[in-house]
Amino acid sequence: MNRAELQQLARDRVQDAKVLLEARRWTGAYYLAGYAVECALKSCIIARLMKTDLFPERRFSEQCWTHDLGQLLRLAGLEPVLDAAGLADPYLGKSWELVKDWNESTRYTRKTRRDAEELYGAVVDKKHGVLSWLRSHW
């Protein structure tokens, strides 16, 4: 999967999450909103690799095969950038605090309306959302 495909997948999963929210399918909406962030972070990793002529360390690609958003943020080289952005925009920092705890196993747990709406908002908010911020780095 290439960078453009990951970006499109992130956009598609956000749209899917919105439809599921409207259909009151909280668990699916929660899962897909988080999955959109995973795809966006993987696109950011590719963007980081494209900016350098260095060959990544041996285990780098293995480390990318994860659903751990915190790890993906580090692999994209964006952890210090987000820390600085979160200081400048505390609402973005709060959004990341909500989003970072998402993981793929949430598809096996029931989520409430509040859970789904909070995560979706933290992902898509145009001014303070994680996905909006990630788009400036992919």
What is residue 67's three-state secondary structure?
Answer: coil
Structure token digits, residue 76: 């994209």
State pTM to two decimals.
0.94
We report the CATH number of the domain holding residue 22 as 1.20.120
- Per-residue pLDDT for 57 more than 90? no
- Per-residue pLDDT for 61 more than 90? no
Rounded to the nearest integer, the mean pLDDT of the chain is: 95
Chain length of the chain: 138
Question: Considering only CA atoms, which of 120, 101, 134 is closest in space to residue 3?
Answer: 134
What pLDDT score does 55 carry?
Answer: 82
Structure token digits, residue 77: 């080289």
Q: Are 131 and 98 in contact (CB under 8 A)?
A: no
Q: Are 47 and 20 in contact (CB under 8 A)?
A: no
For residue range 110-120, list pLDDT tens digits in order. 999 999 999 99
| d(C-alpha 133, C-alpha 85), whole Å | 9
Half-sphere exposure of 56 (CA within 13 A, CB side): 16
Percent of the chain with pLDDT over 70: 100
- Rounded (5°) CA angle 39-41-44: 115
Q: Tell me which residue has tokens 């900016």.
A: 51
| d(C-alpha 17, C-alpha 85), whole Å | 26
| d(C-alpha 116, C-alpha 85), whole Å | 24
For residue range 4-52, list pLDDT tens digits in order. 999 999 999 999 999 999 999 999 999 999 999 999 999 999 999 998 8
The number of distinct structural domains making up the chain is: 1
For residue range 77-135, list pLDDT tens digits in order. 999 999 998 888 999 999 999 999 999 998 899 999 999 999 999 999 999 999 999 99
What range defines the domain where residue 104 resides? Answer: 3-135
